[in-house]
Structure 1
Amino acid sequence: MASLMLPLLPVYASVEDVGLLPTPPMGFNNWARFECDLNETLFTKTAESMVSRGLLAAGYNRLNLDDCWMQTSRSDNGSLQWNTTLFPHGIPWLANYAHQHGFHLGIYEDAGNATCGGYPGSYRHEEQDAETFASWGIDYLKLDGCNVFAEEGRLLRDEYRVRYHQWHEIFSRMSPPLIFSESAPAYFSTDATDWARVMDWIPFYGELARHSDDVLVYSGAGSAWDSIMVNYDYQVQVARYQQPGYYNDPDFLIPDHPGLTDDEKKSHFALWASFGAPLIISAYIPDLPDTVIDFLTNKDLITVDQDPLAQQATLVSRDDRFDVLTRSLSNGDRLLTVLNRGNNTANTSISLARLGLDSKCQYSARDLWTGTKSTITDSVQVNLDSHATSVLRITPPRHCKTTPTGTVFNTASGKCLTASHNVGFEVCNAADDQVWKVSGLGSKFTLHPLSDSSKCLSASKKGSLSLVPCEGGPGTIWSHYLTGHLKNTVGGCLDASGQSASTGACDLDIAGQIFGLPSGVKLATGLR
């Protein structure tokens, strides 16, 4: 059984200072659009266009260089060197240019022996490279994870932790520190337990982290929409890690990709904004159509993305057509985001109860695409074309409370906890018996299915699950942890590994014990 000794909440960014990056970053990166075809002119033209087309004013204030900016070898004293053909004026000049135009400049390196493109990695040059970047005027580092090999006696996931922790320590001693974007989790995304265990330490070291595959590059083969949906599905699994100062990063926005429809481009942006994710554009901005600039600068959606509560939208329900997501905003408003994942136009109805709202109250709502205002008394009706997304900002009366509500799902299987006759995990189908209301104070709570709110999920000492009247018995009290474990005060940790759901001894290396819950659930500390 794996040890359960892990860092405890509160989660801190790399220098224990939420103020370093109080909201998710916005800006430009060359990789998905241009890969290694980057140069000084690309960045100066991009900056000029971002200013003239309103992107800088909308909040996109970062210019980030990705791989291939450097020479193929270090200098005689071991320091990194920029490619003088690509950057004839030099990186310090480009940083100064960026600052003069209102931008920050970020850069790319790798924790391994070499970058993904084969250029010098930072292994055993970490301190020197950090000092070099700072001296050039860089304030943001994306640290990739290619070519990392485990030292003798270490698991590979532990080797990544050692190397990223070293950077964390270096930045902690710097004044000012660099914003630290970590790519380590992406190298473990195909193994549910290794991936989760890497994610457990990631928020303690940096401000944001790439957790999954690269989004499809402009010249890549395959479906750009499918690529976006892969990263979207990973993002849904990691909501519990996000809070002010640390942000889950599902990779770049690709609004000029030729494989995307207009609805898909808009959905990509709306979903990332609903997640409170970094909004880093990888496109040739001077040639973007005005219609694309219009949605990228949508003030209402950017306000949602930059909301200081930094709560990530989570699943209310899922079936073979619609994903329904919700989150709370810092002023008490509730966000409703609906994605039509199906291939045809379809409609759906979402009750107030599913959004954690009181059906006895009347709510005002604003469509964040059109600005249209409406009043909601019992449910929201949505009609969407294939791969389109609706986003509503719902304002409750002051006396009406919001309760965390949504799916409880196993992140490895994707199956939803279902309050059927025999409580278990089934393919998500958006039925009321798969939507759970989380009630309680602090990190101890009960779980009520929407299909019968008088009943609570209960575990016995032997590990069996059942629905019982909600009378406060110890078997009905649960806690959720940063590790994803859902622990009962009587029966141990919920486990979806077997033929039927049960509880048992908590184990970090059992993927069936890792769960996603609705946003707004306070995490417990000290899992043992």
Structure 2
Amino acid sequence: MVQYGFKDLGYEYVILDDCWSVGRNSSGYLMPNMTKFPDGISGLADKIHALGLKVGIYSSAGTMTCARYTGSLGHEQKDADVWASWGIDYVKYDNCFNEGEEGTPQLSFDRYNAMSKALNKTGRPMLYSMCNWGVDGPWNFAPTIANSWRITGDLTDTFDRDDPNCPCEEKEGLDCKVPGFYCSLTNVLNKVVYYPSKAFPGAWNDMDLLQVGNGGMTDDEYVAHFSIWAAMKSPLIMTNVLAKLDPQTLSILQNAAVLAVSQDPLGSSATRRWRYFVNDTDEFGRGEIQLLTGSLAGDDQLVLFFNAGTQERTMNASLAEVFWEVAPRGTAPQVKQAWDIYDLWKGARMSNATASAIIAGNGTLPVNMTEIGGGGPDGARRAYAQVPPSNSTALMGTKVGSVQPSGTFTAHVKPHGVAMLRLRAQSTRKRDEL
């Protein structure tokens, strides 16, 4: 993560998942598997911290974890205390073997709030990642007790397919009781779009781990996957074997302009403006296109065209559609200025030679760290977190045109792909003046 430049681009946690422990000692504290971790978890944490990174750990709000190791239900304070003593910075808290303590929002809240209070009581800052698969509508209570919460069942490495293990289309809404697994990218997107307002800085809708580069989708589908997760402000958690990264995957995961959207200080999740079903259906009998937009710091605007159909198509939107929320309801906003359009993927894919050199440890980052953040280990992150991007291809993408106040702009979008655009006003008027 350090050698390939991920740390400089804002990836900062190394998160252990299940299978790290061997149960509890005679005092009731969790113990690590010393064969897997000869220096213990505290020794591992010291090594990770020495690299300038943070470390995460895993448990379940049940009697056992999902892999049937010892869970934390009823032992919240002892587990939180031992994690704090080891130097843990992040806790993923799953939902397996929960003893039936779910089925109403109050039951789920009480069970997850017990760990929230225990973590806070330790006095050590630890990011609290709830993983209850969207059961009991966590978006309604998790923002008060956690830093992120899963909103669906488990994502799998597939673009769009029906799977009996992931029931409940979004049309079933809150009547859906089974969280499921083997959920596709579009299935997850079409559930999270109903809850963008529930997230805010420090509290996020979690669409599950990134699958980028794991082999189940095409590169264009992975570009769409990464773009949508960034637009919705879902945590970006890689699941790759980093030693086996290929150039295409590195190129996607290190797109600084898209990461700037993910880490935008305003922290506003994109909102779906429209969704249409199209004629060019896939083997599962569907195809759809969507427009998502979102506010960015500095009065910039994000526009994302998503083409889930099987044919390349030209997609378009007007500024009235993009800025619909700022107008009185039932009317179109009166846009008074022109906007420049930047494509966040145009020219962003590094060459195989450049990426291969980085992977081999003989190259440099594909972006100019001094230009975008002042250099140093946290240069890029400072640029993302504190100021809107400058007019650079590193953080703004490539300028591809402009649109007049009453105009319409278009993008050619590949099948199962996206066009991810950043709009910047040509004048210095405030957003409410458009």
Q: TM-score, normalization: structure 2?
A: 0.75
The structural deviation recorded for 1:170 is 1.8
Corresponding residue number in structure 1 for 2:262 = 305
Which structure 2 residues correspond to residues 372-391 of structure 1 after superposition, within 5 A?
372-373=398-399, 374-377=401-404, 378-391=407-420
Q: Which residue of 2 aligns with 1:149?
A: 99
Distance 1:225 1:343, change over 3 A: farther
What is the one-letter code of the residue matched to 1:164? Y
- Which residue identity is paired with 1:305? S
8 A contact 1:145–1:187 mirrored in 2: no
What is the aligned residue count? 342
**1:3-152 residue pairs with structure 2 within 5 A?**
50-71=1-22, 73-150=23-100
The offset of 1:399, in angstroms, is 2.6
Contact 1:143 1:181 in 2 (8 A): yes
Structure 2 residue aligned with 1:341: 308
**Cα distance between partner residues in 1 of 2:31 and 2:157:** 26
CA distance in 1, matches of 2:343, 2:253: 16
Distance 1:204 1:145 in 2: 18
Alignment match of 2:226 (pick from 248, 254, 269): 269
Once the two structures are TM-superposed, the CA of residue 187 in structure 1 deviates from its matched residue by 5.2
* Counterpart contact for 2:307–2:413, Cα < 8 Å: yes
Q: Deviations over 1:345-369 (max 9, x none)?
A: 1112211110016444211121111
Cα deviation digits, residues 53-87 of structure 1 (max 9, x gap):
1111111111000111111x311111111112222
Q: How many Å separate the matches in 2 of 1:346 and 1:327?
A: 22
Whether the 8 Å contact between 2:299 and 2:430 is mirrored in structure 1 is no
- Alignment of 1:361 onto 2:337: yes
CA deviation profile, 1:328-384 (whole Å, cap 9, x unmatched):
112110100111011111112211110016444211121111232121121111111
Greater Cα radius of gyration, structure 1 or 2: 1
Distance in 2 of aligned mates of 1:75 and 1:135: 16
Q: Does 1:398 align with 2:428?
A: yes
Kept in 2: contact 1:352–1:358 (CA 8 A): no
Sequence identity, in percent? 32
Aligned CA distance change for structure 1 residues 111 and 68 (closer, same or farther; 3 Å)? same
Q: Which residue of 2 aligns with 1:408?
A: none
Letter in 2 for 1:332: D
**One-letter amino acid of the structure 2 residue matched with residue 347 of structure 1:** T
**What's the TM-score, normalizing by structure 1?**
0.62
Contact 2:65–2:94 (Cα < 8 Å) also in 1: yes
Look up the SS of the partner of 2:260 in the other structure.
helix
| Deviation (angstroms), 1:254 | 1.1
Q: Where in structure 2 are there 5+ consecutive unaligned residues?
A: 164-180, 278-287, 324-332, 347-396
Matched, 1:161 2:109: yes
Aligned ranges for residues 421-460 of structure 1 at < 5 Å?
none
The AA in structure 2 aligned to 1:231 is V
1:173 deviates by 2.3
Q: State the 1:155 CA deviation.
A: 5.1
Residue type matched to 1:398 in 2? T
By how many angstroms is 1:247 displaced?
0.8
**Using a 3 Å threshold, how does the CA distance of structure 1 residues 225 and 385 change in structure 2: closer, same or farther?**
farther
CA contact (8 A) 1:225 1:260 kept: no
Structure 1 residues 402 and 384, CA gap change in structure 2 (3 angstroms): farther
Query: Residue 201 of structure 2 is aligned with which of 235, 244, 263?
Result: 244
Give the counterpart letter for 2:264 in structure 1: D
Q: Which amino acid aligns with 1:384?
A: V
Q: Secondary structure at the match of 1:172?
A: helix
Structure-2 change in CA distance of 1:389 and 1:174 (3 Å): same
Q: 5 Å matches for 1:399-414?
A: 399=429, 401=431
- Matched-pair contact (CA < 8 Å) for 1:63–1:105: yes
What is the letter of the counterpart of residue 118 of structure 2?
A: I
**2: CA distance, partners of 1:401 / 1:332:** 6
Cα deviation 1:298-357 (Å, max 9, x = unaligned): 111111111111110011111013110001112110100111011111112211110016
On the 8 A contact 1:358/1:400 being kept in 2, the answer is no
After TM superposition, the structure 1 stretch with the greater mean CA deviation from structure 2, 173-182 or 330-339, is: 173-182
User: Is the partner of 1:331 in helix, strand or coil?
Assistant: helix
- Mean Cα deviation higher: 206-215 or 286-295: 286-295
CA RMSD, Structure 1 to Structure 2 (Å): 2.2
**1:343 partner amino acid:** T
Alignment of 1:332 onto 2:299: yes
Question: How far apart in 2 are the matches of 1:353 and 1:121?
Answer: 51
* Deviation of 1:222 (Å): 8.4
Residue 310 (structure 2) pairs with residue 351 (structure 1): no
Q: One-letter code of the match for 2:153?
A: D
What letter matches 2:6 in structure 1?
L
After TM superposition, give the deviation of residue 259 of structure 1 in Å. 1.5
Quote the residue 1:171 is aligned against: 119
1:237 partner SS: coil
Note if contact 2:336-2:433 (Cα within 8 Å) is conserved in structure 1: no
Structure 2 counterpart of 1:55, one-letter code: F
Query: In the alignment, is residue 322 of structure 1 matched against residue 289 of structure 2?
Result: yes
Tell me how far 1:403 sits from its aligned partner: 9.2
- How far has the Cα of 1:212 moved from its partner? 0.7
Q: 1:304 to 1:217 in 2, by over 3 A?
A: closer
- Contact 1:361 / 1:400 at 8 angstroms: preserved in 2? no
Q: CA deviation at 1:96?
A: 0.6
Deviation at 1:157, TM superposition (A): 3.7
Paired letter, 1:363: W
CA deviations over 1:404-430 (Å, ceiling 9, x no partner): 9xxxxxxxxxxxxxxxxxxxxxxxxxx
Q: 1:295 to 1:187 in 2, by over 3 A?
A: closer
State the Cα deviation string for residues 249-277 of structure 1 (Å, max 9, x = none).
Answer: 10111112221001011111111111122
User: Structure 2: how far apart are the matches of 1:222 and 1:115?
Assistant: 28
1:505 matched to which residue of 2?
none
1:21 alignment counterpart: none
